[in-house]
């Protein structure tokens, strides 16, 4: 039975989480749009591909962004395959490689404060210091995830990291979160999953009792 997510519009301090959820031992985070405000960078990365190859999105930029939020790269590829100018000989792997190069370049050249609020840094640091198990479960590829964690300074805090490359099934399938819970050795009512997209929320609510829909970005 799926749980009903609670909506949070503001990043909570650890004290508030402990008060609202006594007995919680683990905090599980999606990455883009949840832990980091990086969804705009993914849209820019896609638009850079369009500029380079003269692929013309048939929608305004804000509509493109809304269409792409929370979607794994293979789903993005399905969407843009029909856009005017899209190279017909491209595979999903060709697209993902090109997009990831752009994402990494954008992450590297964007000030950290633009995608990592101090409130998130404090929450992660405090949770780690107090012995909470921290997990990151993302549909992004390992190369992007590792670079983002490295440049943000958060890489040492997560005991469990599952990327798209680690999972045979992907969000909205519950497999990624069920696997993370299995690795954590915690019960599903001992963790909170933080997610922002409908795809991620479908995965999370099929896996754990406590799910928070993030609307702080």
pLDDT at 1 over 80: no
Q: What is the mean pLDDT of residues 177-198?
A: 97
pLDDT tens profile 122-171? 999 999 999 999 999 999 999 999 999 999 999 999 999 999 999 999 99
pLDDT of residue 73: 80
Whole-number Å distance between alpha carbons of 133 and 29: 11
> Which three-class secondary structure state does DSSP give residue 193?
strand
Average pLDDT, the chain: 93
Instruction: Tell me which residue has tokens 């993902």.
Output: 96
Tokens 């409130």 -> residue: 119
- Judging by DSSP bridges, how do beta strands 133-137 and 160-162 pair with one another? parallel
User: How would you label 137-173 residue by residue, b for 16+ Cβ within 10 Å and e otherwise?
Assistant: bbbbbebbbebbbebbebeebbebbbbbeebeebbbb
The CATH T-level fold of domain 6-37+115-214 is Rossmann fold (3.40.50)
User: What pLDDT, on the 0 to 100 scale, is given for residue 75?
Assistant: 80
Q: What is the pLDDT of residues 30-45, one digit of tens each?
A: 999 999 999 999 899 9
Q: Is 182 helix (H, G, I), strand (E, B) or coil?
A: helix
Residue linked to tokens 């009792």: 209
């Amino acid at each position: 039975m799926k749980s009903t997510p609670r909506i949070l519009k503001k990043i909570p301090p650890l004290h508030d989480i402990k008060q609202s959820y006594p007995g919680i031992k683990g905090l599980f985070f999606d990455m883009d749009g949840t832990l980091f405000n990086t969804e705009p960078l993914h849209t820019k990365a896609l638009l850079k591909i369009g500029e380079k190859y003269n692929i013309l999105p048939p929608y305004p930029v804000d509509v493109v962004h809304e269409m792409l939020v929370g979607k794994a790269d293979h789903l993005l590829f399905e969407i843009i395959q029909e856009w005017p100018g899209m190279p017909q000989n491209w595979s999903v792997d060709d697209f993902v490689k090109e997009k990831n190069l752009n994402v990494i370049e954008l992450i590297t050249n964007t000030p950290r404060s633009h995608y990592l609020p101090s409130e998130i840094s404090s929450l992660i640091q405090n949770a780690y210091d107090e012995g909470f198990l921290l997990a990151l479960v993302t549909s992004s590829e390992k190369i992007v995830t590792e670079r983002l964690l490295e440049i943000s300074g958060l890489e040492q805090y997560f005991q469990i990291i599952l990327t798209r490359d680690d999972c045979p099934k992907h969000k909205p399938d519950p497999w990624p979160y069920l696997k993370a819970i299995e690795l954590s050795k915690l019960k599903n009512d001992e963790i909170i999953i933080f997610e922002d997209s409908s795809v991620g929320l479908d995965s999370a609510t099929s896996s754990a009792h406590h799910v928070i829909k993030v609307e702080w970005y």
